[in-house]
């Protein structure tokens, strides 16, 4: 179990249309001293409403829900500037769910299987709460490659991301974006370019700001959908 952070536990909103699932996650996650479930939503509309009210650190988002699906709800949450500190962890039944790509494109911090071990779920929540992408970089790259290659290139498919976003990047930023898309971690990018991981992180923050990207996952999608990484 994780140690209790100085600012208090990581607050969570569980969004799933099955009450037994919501109750199960609530009981399970509340056993970790650094995690606290503060609400539960039965559909996407309620998930967005409660996110605005409670401003949790992380929303555990199911994909298939009534009224508004998890992808649309994720997009609404990540696009809301008042929820800039709220991150979304998408839950899926299959490791290559057809909706996983769209969930990442909508701004989700990552996705994982619903039947994952409790400690893995807790660890994933901590990763997403820090603003990092849940999926290990190389796995993320394979996922994006799979889905991007199977669909036509669409400008703006990842929110407001598009070719114009690349024009504002410096040569160094484009270089780093390409390495991110190829699955390198910050440490590996630093070694490749002979710069520190902290400098890499600074460049990534600037790239995200220029591209209006919510997280690393969207940067990978940007690189593929704008042609920076050839298909």
Supply the pLDDT for residue 73: 94
- Convert the pLDDT of each residue in 10-69 to its tens digit: 999 999 999 999 999 999 999 999 999 999 999 999 999 999 999 999 999 998 898 999
Residue 209: other Cβ atoms inside 10 A = 10
Would the CA dihedral through 202, 206, 211, 215 be positive or negative? positive
What's phi and psi for 93, nearest 5 deg? -80, -30
Supply the pLDDT for residue 68: 92
Closest CA to 161 of 77, 229, 105: 105
For the chain, which domains are there? 10-135 (3.40.50.2300), 159-225 (1.10.10.10)
Name every residue whose Cβ is closer than 8 Å to that of residue 91 and which is 6 or more positions away in sequence.
Answer: 16, 60, 61, 62, 63, 111, 112, 113, 114
Would the CA dihedral through 16, 22, 25, 26 be positive or negative? positive
**Low-confidence residues of the chain: pLDDT under 70:** 1-7, 94-101, 134-144, 147-163, 231
Q: What's the whole-model pTM score?
A: 0.64
3-state SS, residue 41: strand
Rounded-to-integer distance, Cα 222 and Cα 211, Å: 8
Q: Of all helices (H) and strands (E), which one includes residue 228?
A: none
Rounded-to-integer distance, Cα 166 and Cα 146, Å: 22
Supply the pLDDT for residue 15: 96
Supply the pLDDT for residue 38: 95
- Token pair belonging to 167: 């024009």
CA distances from 135 to 49, 110, 144, 217 (A): 27, 6, 11, 9
CA distances from 137 to 56, 148, 179 (A): 25, 16, 10
């Amino acid at each position: 179990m994780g140690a209790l952070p100085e600012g208090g536990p990581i607050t969570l909103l569980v969004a799933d249309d099955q009450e037994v699932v919501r109750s199960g996650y609530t009981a399970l996650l509340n056993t970790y001293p650094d995690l606290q479930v503060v609400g539960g939503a039965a559909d996407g509309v309620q998930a967005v409403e409660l996110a605005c009210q409670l401003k949790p650190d992380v929303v555990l988002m199911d994909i298939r829900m009534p009224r508004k699906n998890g992808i649309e709800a994720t997009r609404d949450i990540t696009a809301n500037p008042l929820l800039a500190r709220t991150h979304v962890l998408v839950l899926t039944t299959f490791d290559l769910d057809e909706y996983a790509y769209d969930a990442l494109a909508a701004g989700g911090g990552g996705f994982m299987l619903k039947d994952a071990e409790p400690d893995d779920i807790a660890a994933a929540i901590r990763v997403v709460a820090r603003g990092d992408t849940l999926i290990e970089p190389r796995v993320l790259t394979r996922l994006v490659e799979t889905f991007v290659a199977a669909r036509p290139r669409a400008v703006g498919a990842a929110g407001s991301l598009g070719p114009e976003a690349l024009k504002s990047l410096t040569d160094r930023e484009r270089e780093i974006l390409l390495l991110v898309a190829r699955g390198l971690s910050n440490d590996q990018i630093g070694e490749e370019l002979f710069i520190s991981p902290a400098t890499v992180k600074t460049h990534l923050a600037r790239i995200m700001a220029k591209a209006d990207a919510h997280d690393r996952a969207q940067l990978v999608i940007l690189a593929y959908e704008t042609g920076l990484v050839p298909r």
